[in-house]
Amino acid sequence: MSEFEKLYQKHEKRLDDSQHLLRAYKSAIYHERWKKRNINLNELKGYKGLKEVPFTSANDLRIAWENHSVEDLILTETVGFWYTTSGSMGNKKWIPWTYNDYKLAGVSTAHILMNTLTPTDRVLTIVLPPPFISGSSPFKLLENTGNLGTPVEVLAFSPEYVQDGFGLLLKRTPTAIIGTPSITLRMADEVAINTPKILKARAEMEKSMKLRVAAFATKLKKIYPKHIFKDMKYGFFGGESLDPFRKAIEDKWGLEAFDIYAFTEGFGGGYECKEHNGMHFPCHHAIVEIISDKELEKEENDPEYHPDAILATEAEKGLTGELVLTDFKEAMPMIRYRVRDAVKVIANEDCACGEDSIRLKIIGRTDSVINLGIIRLSAIIFDQLLRKEFKNGKVKLWEVFVSREKYKPKITLTVEPEFTNNEEEFKKELFESLYGFDLFQRGYDNGLFVFDEIKIVSELKHEVYGQGKSRLVRYHQNFFEEVKM
C-alpha cells in the first residue's frame, strides 16, 4: 500500500472516530440541506457515508451567512482569525479559522517549502494584506520554518507597498519569491522603472562613482529583476494559473517557478515539485474527490441529479473533472466543497521527487465566471449589471471576449441592443454600470486587467455548446498560452 493510500485510510478512520459528519451537521451551512435528504447520519460510515451527503457550494456558504448568526455557523466557541475571499459574486465570504486550523495549515506549508528552500534563503513575499489569508503567510512562513529548526528570512510587502520597499530589496536581495504570477510580472516592469532612479539617488548620497555608472548603465538597456536580484533561485506562485506566465517570469526573474494551489475556505492545497508536471495534493488534513466530466454533464442536463465523485486514491490517470474537498477544520469544516476548479489527473503513482500523492493540473473553471486571473467576475452578475434600465438603450444579448495584452487579461464586451438612441452615451452607461461593481472597479483601477472597448453590433451570434447553451464568455487562445514580453 502506498503512503498516499495509508493516509486515506487514516482519513477514513478520522471521519468516523471524530464523528466528523455528525459534528458538521450542527452548522447551519449543512443542517437544512442535509435534513432535506433524510440521511441517517448515525449510520454513515467512512467514505461510503461521506458520499451520501450533498456537495457544498460557495453559494450555500453565502446563503447560510446571510440567514444565520455566526454562532449558528461555527462549531467552536471561539475563532482564531477571520479571512475573506473577494467572491466572484461580489459579496465577500468570511471564513473563520481557529488557532489550531491556522497552525496545521502553516506546518504543512513550511514542510513543502523547505523541500526546496534552505535556512540561508531570503524570501520576498508580495501578498495581499489581511483580511486575505495570504496576509498571514509571511508571518506563518517565519514561525513555521522556525519551528522546524530552519527559519528563513522574510521580506514581506503588499503589492501597494513593494515600491516603497525597493530600497531595502536592492540592499538585501531576496533569493526566492512568493506571490501571484501577474503581480510578479508587473513588478518586473516596476523594477525597470525604479532601479535607475534609486541607484542614481544612492550614488549622489554615497558619492559613489560605481553606483553612478551602474545607474547610467541601467538607463541604456532594459533592466530585468534578474539583473538586480542575482541570487534569485525560486518562485512559488498561487492565486491564478501559473502556466501562461511561467516562461516570462522565469526569463525576467532568472528563477525556477513552482505552482501552488490553495484556497481560503479550507485545507487541501497542492504544490508542484521539481518535476514540474502537475501539483501534488498530499492533503494531510483534507480529502480530495473528483466529479468526472461525465457526471458533470449528467448534472447539467438534470439539476436534481446528485453526481458521483471519485476518491483521490481511486482516480485514474487522465481523468478530468471538478475538484471537491472535505477538510478537518475545527470552526467551519468544508464538507464536499466544490471549489469550481476543473482538474486533470496527471499521475497517481510514485513521483521522481519521492512523493506518491496524486498529481493534478488545474485546467479551468466549471462555473460561469469571467476568469481574469486573480480576479474572477461572475457572469451572472455581469448579466444583471448589463440588463439594468438605461436611458440610452437596452441590452438584448451580450458576450465577453477575454484575450491578453502583454501579461494583462483584456476584456472586450460586445452588445446587441434591443434599441439604442445614442450609442456613445449607451456605452458610457454600460461601463458605469460595470464600474459600480466593486470587484470590477478595484481590478480596473489597479490595472489588473485592461477593459478594451464596448462594441455595439446589430446581430450577435453566440457560440453554442452542449445542448444548445449560449456561451457568454469566450477566451482567445492567447489567454492560455505563454505571455510574451
356 in contact with Zn ion (CB under 5 A)? no
Phi, psi dihedral angles at 112 (to 5 degrees) = -65, -45
Nearer Cβ to Zn ion, position 339 or 351?
A: 351
395 in contact with Zn ion (CB under 5 A)? no
Nearer Cβ to Zn ion, position 3 or 164?
A: 3
Beta carbon of residue 5, minimum distance to Zn ion (angstroms, whole number)? 17
272 in contact with Zn ion (CB under 5 A)? no
Q: Give the Cα separation of 473 and 413 in Å (integer).
A: 9
Beta carbon of residue 351, minimum distance to Zn ion (angstroms, whole number)? 3
Nearer Cβ to Zn ion, position 110 or 203?
A: 110
351 in contact with Zn ion (CB under 5 A)? yes
Mask for 450-469, x = binds Zn ion (CB under 5 A): --------------------
259 in contact with Zn ion (CB under 5 A)? no
Nearer Cβ to Zn ion, position 113 or 127?
A: 113
- Choices 187-195, 207-215, 275-283, 313-321 (CB under 5 A): range interacting with Zn ion: 275-283
**Which one among 113, 273, 324, 362 touches Zn ion, defined by CB under 5 A?**
273
Residues counted in the chain: 485
- Choices 89-97, 116-124, 271-279, 340-348 (CB under 5 A): range interacting with Zn ion: 271-279
| SS3 labels along 274-294 | CCCCCEECCCCCEEEEEEEHH
Beta carbon of residue 322, minimum distance to Zn ion (angstroms, whole number)? 23
Nearer Cβ to Zn ion, position 134 or 357?
A: 357
355 in contact with Zn ion (CB under 5 A)? yes
Please state, as a whole number, how many other Cβ atoms lie within 10 Å of the Cβ of residue 97.
25
Beta carbon of residue 4, minimum distance to Zn ion (angstroms, whole number)? 12
Nearer Cβ to Zn ion, position 121 or 355?
A: 355
- Among positions 90-119, residues that touch Zn ion (CB under 5 A) are none
Beta carbon of residue 357, minimum distance to Zn ion (angstroms, whole number)? 8
How buried is residue 320: exposed, middle or buried, by Cβ count under 10 Å (0-12/13-18/19+)? middle
Contact positions toward Zn ion, by CB under 5 A?
Answer: 273, 275, 351, 353, 355
